[in-house]
Structure 1
């Protein structure tokens, strides 16, 4: 087990914030925003003031290696060896629920993000309405994604028959769910969903799905595919003489495709596709950090300056994770007591750099919602650039471009 500890105070720590992050493995590109935020906020985490008490703080980071089993061991090490009072995590369809389950079992407060709340609940073997005792999450719902995607489809006339390129795993099964998936939202808006057929990741052929796209006359495609799989589908559709007027895709396509793969052919294919996606954070969001007043634009600029890489949407959520943890430790009746911290999280309302978080008004216990905008990737000389093309459900976020069908 690899361990990285960010010692933010030389004195003996009385409180420990534990972090499970994908420092290595296939999710490592998505772990960079979290490790960057921890380093950037280290000066603000030297201590926590709780009433008239002052507590020194240590931040202990352990590598999930992008693997759920390793992630659970990381939690055990954080709790038993590092004596973590709260655990933070983000990223990973299998890894994130594994961390949350381990925290629930070990009775340590956990805060997570970047995962639709229905997937967070279902992947842990629960139904909406179930109240976890120790684990809390903030994100958006599948219904929120469906609404934003529908609004972008409707910028191209409509209503539409939309081809659904969904896998045979958790994402696909939830997106197909007649109660919690896309259908309740999209059908109410007049759209027809045509399932192109489940596929296994990673895919090596989409001929069947392309044929069904032709059969249903679907000019728009929606998906939750990986970068490589979506590029393969688009390539095979073009070779068959089909060109979707718009592709909306969540999950990996919320990140610039140049960040998640180095393959030039994938870059070219997805630049041509002009994929639209959900936007949960950007430099244009009008929020500030509750810790130091940093604006979204400031955070994105600093990340690009310090890393030489493009800003990523999880950057703001990683910052909000740390803000919320700091808030919980400063507001808990007893920040050394796990139950007291968990109780504080359950009643938290906080304005963060990712927006307002309110666990008292979530769609189900343990959840705080973030508002979504819609964006589209536009090719440019420095790589793909994300423009916000609809803000109907988040009117405070400025529109920065127009949707461009292919």
Structure 2
């Protein structure tokens, strides 16, 4: 059954539009269709690209809600370039496919004539979206992709960056800052760390980046090998991990592959003392799918109700946004909720900062020069590690049995971001 959240569009209409590539103005933010006295220059079009279906769909579970919230927050418009402006949002689904991401981004540029494009969730989306924007001179900001996979995966020139495309998230140093303190506290006797890294842009950034950092810090990565995504038998990797005596485990697979691996690992007797995983177990849907095997798996938490952040659009706190999401959808908060919200905060701020929000070069320059305190915290796109990249600092969280929902995330290590309060002790994944 189709449900219509605040903001006035149904999930069915959103998915239909995204899947068919139709230009769909989600016009709650505009207060209605363009009417008399409103010119094209008064309407600023934002394209939004994400994996709403397919194996990465968990990243997009908050999309409907966030777009509706942005619509509501901006329903009265805002001033940019000395004129009153309204927002039109056009949503596209990548179907978790990089080629599809390229296709729908081209639709947004060539058919929908958007002024700016935002995109989210893994290099499978962020990289092809950004590449099309860079090639076509469209201002762009993306998130939820390690910066190395986004920057080096697109052949970025160090010290120069890109003209039109920007990113906020974090990278290998921040993963190390998040994971290593938990490893130090895990009470293990072996310095070997089992690493499940497939052969894709995301995982290769971990293999080449985090792997070296592990070695420098005194840990020894036990690489299970660069397998292809979609694998169904992890017996070889599990045997290698068991033979190494590794008591720690880390990984960067696609979510369905981790589910398969983790179940097989338990069946075959590989039960690491602590699992600190990336790219997977980020969202409640994954925790619920894994069931009891979820207990005390640790991951990087870059946004949660516990984070002391608030919206630059309406002043709502992270906790209020999470609570509103649960009240509106009946579902549990997800980390992507904060990130997707901030994509629009950043986009709208760039329009406001520009003398002419229709000038793509100027808007792109405002993105690269932006410093903003928003739902994702303090984002500084000038600070690097490369121009146009704003770094977040995740903390360590573990999945535990929940009260309102089946599973909750408990913050167990804030070494990398002391502003986020600790919610519980670090416990073994497999006692």
Do residues 287 (structure 1) and 306 (structure 2) align?
A: no
Tell me the CA shift for residue 233 of structure 1.
Answer: 2.8
- Range 16-25 or range 208-217, more displaced: 16-25
Find out whether 1:394 has 2:417 as its counterpart.
yes
In the alignment, is residue 133 of structure 1 matched against residue 163 of structure 2? yes
Change (3 A) 1:240 1:298: same
Structure 2: gaps (5+ residues):
1-19
Contact conserved, 1:231 with 1:270, CA < 8 A, in 2?
no
TM-score by length of 1: 0.92
- Where 2:280 maps in the other structure, the secondary structure is helix
1:246 paired to 2:274 = yes
1:353-392 correspondence runs (5 A)? 353-380=375-402, 382-392=405-415
Query: Secondary structure of 1:385's match?
Result: strand
Structure 1 position 2 matched with structure 2 position 21: yes
- Pairs within 5 Å for 1:41-120: 41-46=70-75, 47-50=77-80, 52-120=82-150
1:169 equivalenced with 2:192 (yes/no): no
Q: Cα gap change, 1:153/1:262 in structure 2, threshold over 3 Å: closer, same or farther?
A: closer
Contact 1:163 1:220 (C-alpha < 8 Å) held by counterparts: yes
| Match runs of 1:192-203 below 5 Å | 192-203=220-231
Per the alignment, in what secondary structure is the counterpart of residue 88 of structure 1?
Answer: strand
Rate the CA distance shift 1:371–1:302 in 2: closer, same or farther, 3 A.
Answer: same
Give the equivalent residue in structure 2 for 1:189.
217
Relative to the length of structure 2, the TM-score reads 0.87
Cα displacement (A) at 1:202: 1.7
Partners of 2:179 and 2:214 in 1: CA distance:
9
After superposition, give the CA deviation of every residue in 1:146-195 in whole Å (9 maximum; x if it has no partner). 22111111111357211111112223322221xxx113332333222221
Contact 2:193 2:221 in 1 (8 A): yes
How far the C-alpha of 1:247 sits from its partner, in A, is 0.9
The answer (yes or no) to whether the contact 2:399–2:410 under 8 Å persists in 1 is: yes
Give how far 1:130 is off: 4.5
SS of corresponding position for 2:123: coil
1:268 equivalenced with 2:292 (yes/no)? yes
Q: Quote the offset at 1:127 in angstroms.
A: 5.2
Residues paired across the two proteins, number = 397
Matches of 2:85 and 2:202, distance apart in 1: 41
Q: Deviations over 1:127-157 (max 9, x none)?
A: 5444211101100012211221111111113
Partner of 2:11: none
Long gaps (5+) in structure 1? none
Query: RMSD in angstroms over aligned alpha carbons?
Result: 2.0
Contact kept? 1:350, 1:356, Cα under 8 Å: yes
- Are 1:25 and 2:54 matched, yes or no? yes
Q: Does 1:233 align with 2:261?
A: yes
Give the Cα–Cα distance (whole angstroms) in 1 for the partners of residues 90 and 146 of structure 2. Answer: 26
